Structure 1
Amino acid sequence: MVSYYVSTQPQSNGEHPVHRSGCEHLPDEPHRVFLGSFVDCHEAVKSAKRHFPYANGCAVCLQECHSG
């Protein structure tokens, strides 16, 4: 299982990116929320959308879960 985080700061398009642990774009500690460990990124993004409806997978570390 992999650890996932969501950025608490939206991007210019309003989305809150979800990152895999170790991503080069993972925000610093005060600007992210630990979502938990999941089998795949689809579950992580689903979890993030409970708190941030416009969550989306990071275009770098979660390409398979990035829409748009």
Structure 2
Amino acid sequence: MKNYYVNTKAQSNGDHEVHTEDCSYLPSTANQKSLGKFSNCKDAVTEAKKTYTQSNGCKTCCPDCHTN
């Protein structure tokens, strides 16, 4: 299981990206909210959507949960 984080700063399209703890695109600590430990990105994105309804998986670390 990995720790997942959501970027509190929205992308230009309004998405709040979900990242794993070891992602090279993990935002700075000032711009991240911990979602907890999950065994997959789907559960992490579901958790992120409780705060940010427009959440999406990072295409680098969560490709199975990334939508265009």
TM-score, normalising length from structure 1? 0.97
Cα offset, 1:39, TM superposition: 1.2
Q: CA RMSD in A?
A: 0.5
Cα shift at 1:41: 0.5
Q: Which runs of 5+ in 2 are unaligned?
A: none
Q: Runs of 5+ in structure 1 lacking a partner?
A: none
The alpha-carbon deviation at position 15 of structure 1 amounts to: 0.2
| Per-residue Cα deviation, 1:3-24 (whole angstroms, up to 9, x for no partner) | 0000000000000000011101
Q: Runs of 4+ in structure 1 displaced over 6 angstroms?
A: none
The normalised TM-score by structure 2 is 0.97
Question: Size of the alignment, in residue pairs?
Answer: 68
1:35 aligns to 2:35 (yes or no) = yes
Distance 2:63 2:38 in 1: 16
1:13 equivalent in structure 2: 13
Deviations 1:36-62 (A, max 9, x none): 001110000000000000000001110
Q: Distance in 2 between matches of 1:29 and 1:22?
A: 13
What is the alpha-carbon distance in structure 2 between the residues aligned to residue 27 and residue 40 of structure 1? Answer: 19
State the AA in 2 paired with 1:50: K
